[in-house]
Structures are given as C-alpha cells and as structure tokens.
Structure 1
Amino acid sequence: MSAQPKVPVRRKRLWRTGAAFAVLIGLAAYLLVQYVTGGPGAPRCTVRAEGDAKGYELSPEQAANAATISAVASSRGLPERARTIALATAMQESGLRNIDFGDRDSVGLFQQRPSQDWGTVKQIMDPVYAAGEFYTHLAKVPGYSRLPLTVAAQKVQRSGYPQAYAKHEVNAARLTGALTGRDGAAMTCTQSRPVNGQAGDVAAVRAKLARDFGPEVLPRTDGAGGRGASGGRGVTVPVRQAGVGTDGGGPKRGWELAMWAMAHSAELRIEQISYAGRTWIAADAGKGWQKKPAGSEESAGRSASDVRIITAQ
C-alpha cells in the first residue's frame, strides 16, 4: 500500500515534463519564424500597389533574392507569368532564402538537387544560376503561361506537395507587379544595417546589374564618366535602350531598374535612388519615394528618364 501515493507524483512529473517540452517546441517555432522574417521591428520591404490595402512584407534578404529572380527573367525576355511562377516556387521551397540545406541533397532558392542534374552545389547556391535553370526548365513546358500556377511549377519541380505552391500565388503576383515596374513605386525598403560609416562600391553595383540583367543593361563606356559609367559614388542606368527591357525602355523599365536597386539597397550599401522625379533616401526611408524638386535632375546634368543610384560614402 505504501507505493500507491507515488502514482500521482509520477503523473505530475510527466505532466510537467510534457508542458516544458511543449514550451520548448513553441519557443523553437517562434525563433524560427523570427529568423526567417527578420524579427519584430526589423528592417522590412513592403510591397503595396495602388488600391492594395493589405500589401506584402518581406525581409531585405528575401527582397534581394526576389529581385534577382525577376531580373534573370527580364534578361531572357520572359513574360510576367514566368516570374510569378518562379517567385511562388521559391517562396514555397526556401522562403526566398538562399539556404544550403534541404530535403536530401536539395539546396538553394529552388531546392534544386545536384544528384538530379541541376548543377553543382556551388552553382545552385548562385541565385542567378538557380533562377536561370528554373526558367530553362519552365520554358520547356508547353503553354506554361496558360497553366494553373501549381501545374506549371510542379512540371519543373516534381514536388511531393504540388498544391503548396498555390498559397503563394497572390503575394508572388504582388512582387511581380513591383519588380517588373508595372506597379511603379510599389515597393519601399529600409536598410538592414546602418549606412553611415559603411561605404558602398559603385563597381559592385555595376557588376551586380550586369550579372542579374545581362551586360546590355549598361552601355559600353570609355571609363571617362559617361552615361552608365561610375561617377563618384553614383551610377546612372539608362532606361531607353533599344531591345532591352520588358517594355522597350519606357517607364515600366525604369521602375523595374529602380525596384531592383531598392531590393538590393542594403546588400550594396545604396544610399539614394532617383527616377522619374521621385527619390528614395536610405536615411529617410520611412517616407518612401518622395517627389524631387522640379528640374533637380536637369540641374545636375542628368535626365529624369534614367535611374540614378548613389552609394554610401
């Protein structure tokens, strides 16, 4: 009889152990969410087109990866639907993060597998390469632009959960509208790190532009500070170039380039972006895209129809 009181004690211990384990699971889940999203109060990029009350938020890292995915499609002359499919796929596969782990040997934005002939790990971990491989496979799908997004994505990915792509379609479409320039100044970002004291590199901006959009994005120069050449802390990206861009070099192309710079602003230490009489300043990012005084571009000897990117000192 003396052993009977031990039963409820054991039950209490089991209950406490179970409760502690549940708390740990909850904490781990919370920390994972904060790691993926950047945490509360962290710098964010917000996509909100006119009339879009809800909008979409993502971290600077996610925005930069999304911008590269979109730019690679632009370099190949692919339609908006291709970008939406690619962005929704990367949202599902990696959360738009260039991760070096996954199911079996899957890595990268699209969780491509070296063992399935997607390339080497080093290649797949390059967002430009990974996006290019996705589009190469997507282009082989007959009529992909007319297929439901889940069907088109699945024909490329061969996922065990093909319907999972559908839940990202709305936000992928929002990103597509911003990153193609269709929705103008639809995205604004805050810096992920303080700019002051951390100099940017114009050469790095130019190299990244050429890698993402292709070398035609910048004209050849003699290095003497011509259009598109580095001039001090800035680079001027011509918008109107024959055969370049999704709309032949009009306003849509200009906003496409400006949104790319916005998405990469933290990574490339970009301090200011100007286009079409609007400007974004990192130190005053909370105000978004502000109207510039009339004639300010002309007074600086530059056209308001070009995109001007200025890096931090």
Structure 2
Amino acid sequence: MGVPELSPSRPSRRRRLLRLGAALTVSCALAGYLAVRFGPDAQHARPGCEVVSADGDGATYSFGADQAVNAATIAAVGTSRGMPERAVTIALATALQESGLRNLDHGDRDSVGLFQQRPSQGWGTVAQIMDPVYSAGKFYQRLDKVDDYANLPLTVAAQKVQRSAFPEAYAKHEPDAALLAAALTGRAEAALTCESTVPDGPGDPSAVRAALIRDFGASVLPGAPEARKKATTAAATTTPAPVAGTLAQAPARARTVVVPVAAPATAKDPKAGRRGWELAQWAVAHASVLHLSEVAYAGREWRASGTGHTWREIGAEKSAGARQADGAEGVRIVTAP
C-alpha cells in the first residue's frame, strides 16, 4: 500500500491561520495606538494648547504644549525689544514653517533651532542658535533692518531675513501666527489656554522668576538689585528642577509669583492692559514646563485642574491677592504644590 499523500488543503489552512493571526496582531496594535492617541487618557498624556480669535470670527489654532513654550518665548523676546505685533506675527510664521515651533537640533545642511539658522551663514554657534531667546533675538535684529517690514507682505519680510529656497511657504502660516501674536502680545485677552493637566511634580517660584527674566529681561520683576541678579543668573537654567520638602507642602502664598503691571487697562486707554495679558498668557503657555497650577489677571483665572480650556471669572477677594502697592493689579502665577 502506498504512502498517502498530504491533503493539499492543510498547507492552505495553515497559511490562512497565519494570515489571520498576523491581521489580528496588527489590529490589536492599531487599536492600542488609537486608544493611547485618541482615547480618554490621551488628553492627560498629550497636553495641548489653543488660541482663539479676538475678532469674533471663530478662528482657532491648536498646538502642543512644547510649541506653546517656544511661541511665548519668541513673542516675549520681540515685545521686550520694542517690536510691534506685526513683527511677532512674522517671526512666529517663520518658526512655524522652519521648525513647526520646535527647537530642532538638525535640519537642512547645518541648519538648527526654531528658525533653522545656519552657523556657517553667520547666525552664531550651534549652542547659541539652540537657545530660543538668542535665536529669536537674532531674527528680530535682522528683521528690524528690513525697510518698512511691517507694511510688506509677510512672505517678503520673512524672506529678506531667512533667504529661504521656498519663500512662499511662509504665507500659509500667517493666519495661525496672527492668532498667536494677538494673544501673546496681550491684545487678545484670555485668548490662549492650555488643556486641563495635572502637573507631574511641584513647581518652584524661583524657576518662574528665572524664566520671566530670561524671556523678558531683568526689568520684568521688581526688587533689590541683589535679588534680580540672583534670578538673572538662575535664568540660564531652562528646565526647573522638582521641588521637595517644605516648599512642596507650602501654602499657595509661598508658591506665588506676582508680576507687576505698570498700568492697568482703562476705558480711556484699553491698550494699557496688554502687558498684563501678555504676561498672563506667557505663564499659561509655560505651565507644563514650570509646573504651574494657577494664573490670574484682571479678575479672571486659568487653572491647571478642571478648567484647562477656559479663563473663568474670580471674586474680588481672590483677585485682590495680586494687588500692587499702588492698587494696580499684577499677574498672579501659582506653582503646583
């Protein structure tokens, strides 16, 4: 009796089972990715920010917390140099195109940083360009030398600074950059928020002061020259260290930094309040890296827990906690416990 031949259907079934198993594996992996990416815990895992139009046209722009930090720094450096909102819009549109508002350590040829500036083209050393304050300052320095840049099309103004191979690419970022600039220069009140997120550790008021001085300059905070000098030295540290011990359990008053505002807004001079909103929205943009729990100004408050996409009104008693000696209201920034 001969040896029976194997049924031709067995290998076929085995192949089908293998294909089915591979498909199930891929499906499970995809489902897991989607759950992490878009599921109920995704908001906590991937904190983000949003800016809304002050013109009532419903325009919005959503972006990541890391991008918000860089955008706020770019805006602060610009206003501290006396540059107008239009200059900040040009700078933000440029950084959106060049790096997506991320401080990249690589790029085309030797380009690095937020603006993809090249050491070989005289922008500075790699270490200097990787400092967002330095790179933004260099951008504004060159932009300021462009004749009548505020009245030029954004693509033309940006191109005169950048010398890009694709100058028209800046145009598509102008609407988003304009929304960001309006909020981060303080013209649009309570326009920038970051989603509800619980800080992953306590904050440090000294790190907040250092970051303020790093972005705005030493004049942003009052106090004795010795205190300002100490904070200015600390400003070289871009990532605050976690705080432990007594400060972590300290009451909110000990964890609070009040930034003075020279002149509050009035009915006669509504622009006077821009500085306060500029500082307040800078703080919200930095909430993730500085571990902030609250930011308050002009009778409104942003909180890291529960109201991450809103500025809510607060009572006069709580608002008085940021009053200055002259009665004007400062920006109150509270670090996480």
Report the TM-score, using the length of structure 1 for normalisation. Answer: 0.79
Equivalences for residues 42-191 of structure 1 within 5 A? 42-50=46-54, 51-190=56-195
5+ residue gaps, structure 2, are 1-29, 232-251
Taking a change above 3 Å as real, the CA distance of residues 221 and 232 of structure 1, as seen in their structure-2 partners, is: farther
Report the secondary structure of 2:193's partner residue: strand
1:310 and 2:313 equivalent? Answer: no
Residue number among 224, 234, 249 corresponding to 1:221 in the alignment:
224
Bigger mean CA offset, 147-156 vs 296-305 = 296-305
CA distance in 1: counterparts of 2:62 and 2:298, whole angstroms? 25
Q: Report if the CA contact (8 A) 1:239-1:249 is conserved.
A: no
Alpha-carbon distance between aligned partners in 2 of 1:174 and 1:300, rounded to the nearest angstrom: 28
When Rg is computed on C-alpha atoms for both structures, the one with the higher figure is 2
The letter of the residue matching 2:217 is: G
Name the amino acid aligned to 2:299: G
| Structural RMSD (CA) | 2.9
For residue 309 of structure 1, what is the amino acid of its counterpart? Answer: I
Q: How many residues align?
A: 270
1:263 is matched with which residue?
285
| Cα deviations by residue, 1:175-215 (Å, 9 ceiling, x for unpaired) | 01110110100011026x6325x110111110110110111
Contact 1:49 1:183 in 2 (8 A): yes
- Aligned residue for 1:110, secondary structure, equals coil
Q: What is the rounded CA distance, in whole Å, between the counterparts of 1:143 and 1:256 in structure 2?
A: 25
Distance 2:183 2:95 in 1: 17
| AA of the residue aligned to 1:81 | R
**CA distance in 1: counterparts of 2:192 and 2:102, whole angstroms:** 19
3-state DSSP of counterpart to 1:284: coil
Q: How far does residue 293 in structure 1 lie from its aligned partner after superposition? A: 1.5
Residues 240 and 248, structure 1, Cα contact 8 Å, conserved in 2: no
SS of corresponding position for 2:171: helix
Q: Report the TM-score when normalising by structure 2.
A: 0.74
Please give the residue correspondences for 1:239-278 in structure 2 after superposition, counting only pairs within 5 Å. 239-240=261-262, 250-278=272-300
- Paired letter, 1:265: A
8 Å contact 2:320–2:329 — kept in the other structure? Answer: no
Segments of 5+ residues of structure 1 without an aligned counterpart are 1-26
Q: Partners in 1 of 2:309 and 2:143 — Cα distance? A: 39
- The answer on 1:201 being equivalent to 2:204 is yes
Equivalent residue for 1:296, pick from 318, 321, 328: 318
How far did 1:95 drift? 0.2
Give the equivalent residue in structure 2 for 1:211.
214
Deviations 1:114-171 (A, max 9, x none): 1111011110000000000000110111111111000000000000000000000000
Determine the C-alpha separation between the residues in 1 that align with 2:313 and 2:128: 41
Whether contact under 8 Å (2:298, 2:319) holds in the other structure is no
Separation of aligned partners in 2, 1:83 and 1:179: 9
Letter in 2 for 1:68: T
Pairwise CA distance, 1:301: 6.2
Identity %: 57
Change in CA separation of 1:241 and 1:123 when aligned onto 2, cut-off 3 Å: farther
Residue identity matched to 1:276? A
2:198 counterpart letter in structure 1:
P
Shift of 1:250: 2.3
Whole-angstrom distance in 1 between the partners of 2:120 and 2:210:
31
